[in-house]
Amino acid sequence: MTSKLKITIIGGGVGGYPAAIKAARMGAAVTLVEKDLLGGTCLNRGCIPTKSLLHAGDVVQTMKDAETFGVRCKGYAVDFAAMMARKQAVVNQLRNGVQGLLRNKKVNVVQGSARLLDPGKIEIAETGEVIQSDKILIATGSKPRHFDFKGGAGLELLNSDQALELEKLPKSVVIIGGGVIGLEFAQIFNSLGAEVTVLEILENIAAGIDTDIAATLGQIMTRRGVDIVTGAAIQRLFGKKGRITVHYEVAGEKKTAGGEKVIMAVGRVPVTEGLGAEKLGLAVEKGALVVSDQMETNLPGVYAAGDVTGKTMLAHAAAAQSECAVDAMFGRKAPFLGHAIPHCIYTSPEVGSVGLSEAAARERFDIEVGRFPLVACGKALVLNETEGFVKIIAEKKYGEVLGVHIIGPRATDMIAEAVLGMSMEMTVEELAHAIHPHPTLSESLMEAAMSMRGGAIHMP
């Protein structure tokens, strides 16, 4: 009998624990090393807690709009402490679930910080324990990026982790950064009644998202009370009597924005410190581990997945990359295909996007574009959420779908259909002829495709 393949995974987030479960299921003896909490950033300080608070804000909005549906509410009160407690309860339940899954698969979970000694050996810093392995997967994730602004020393500037631990709802918030993280925090605090300003140095919010979608999201959030400033270069910060003032410049004009709290939402950076990467000769580029299309580093037998690779820094991408790495460890060398990774923003309305934006597609292909407005969708009208649209970009000659972009209710759920279709090289004709249930929001995808092939039914 041959001995089991010994695999050690460094990091228990969504780039680590799914790999541990898959590898154990495939027959490996798996050790998972985590220095903090199982579930990583996504479960503990990212995806899950923010969505819990975003949903709480949606409930508030439902209360505000209740009379539209013939329901009279005498009033409501925002209990921020209770919202935060529920957020934590959801996180705890899911983390306990991860612990149970690992236990069920007999994964050896070690609490501590791992350092690579050689391509088959790691050391636990806190205990000195040495673990020998046949294969190693590095999934140490990322951490909030920090910028040192003039005047910022000594001020209580919150990153996304710290914003999720607030005990009191601030009356006003300035968010530096208009990417996905900044916009979701803007949505949370705005929906709960805080005054919110978003300062983004680029000319558009939600960088990387199709510009039509990003512009529409900005317009809707502005109408709902979020002050969004693009092209804002931060000059300095000043704090006095529980308020922080941000001095910035737009097109040469000096301006200020102030709030009880300032949240730094300026992106994330890979976590590689403490791994011993330099000493071991691990290839690093722009702070991230360099990997092949099968997620292997330049050291044979050492793999990496998730944010530490600096590629698509999304939880679902990390999980997919880690599964690709485990397959490669077992000799199933299929490359990681990243052309159909969905990008989501959980604001209200939501944004779901996959594939090429219109601008990127035009640079490479002769394209056609189809649209369908949600104001023409029966289910959207029933929900009283008609702001938004579906946009499809396709290659003109063969009709292959190159990108799908949605802004509207449940866009983050609807985009999965496009992901599946694009993974199978779906054409516009196939999407247009696929029978969709009525009345649903998903019909809008079909109608957008139909608009490119003779015309949508519910659009002039």
User: Would you name the residues annotated as active-site residues?
Assistant: 438
Q: Which helix (H) or strand (E) holds 245?
A: strand 243-250
Q: Please, are residues 255 and 94 in contact by the beta-carbon 8 Å criterion?
A: no
What does the DSSP assignment read for 249-262?
Answer: EETTEEEEEEESEE
Residues 6+ apart with CB under 8 A from 202: 178, 230, 231
How far is the C-alpha of 288 from the C-alpha of 284, rounded, in Å?
5
Question: CA 263 to CA 237: how far, in whole Å?
Answer: 12
What's CA 349's distance to the chain center, in Å? 16
Q: How far is the CA of 93 from the CAs of 55, 110, 372, in angstroms?
A: 17, 20, 39
Pick from 148, 143, 216, 134: nearest CA to 183: 216
> What is the rounded CA–CA span in Å between residue 286 and residue 306?
15
Which tokens hold the place of 357?
Answer: 């934006």
Write b or e for each residue in 383-392: b if 16 or more Cβ atoms lie within 10 A of its Cβ, otherwise e: eebbbbbbbb
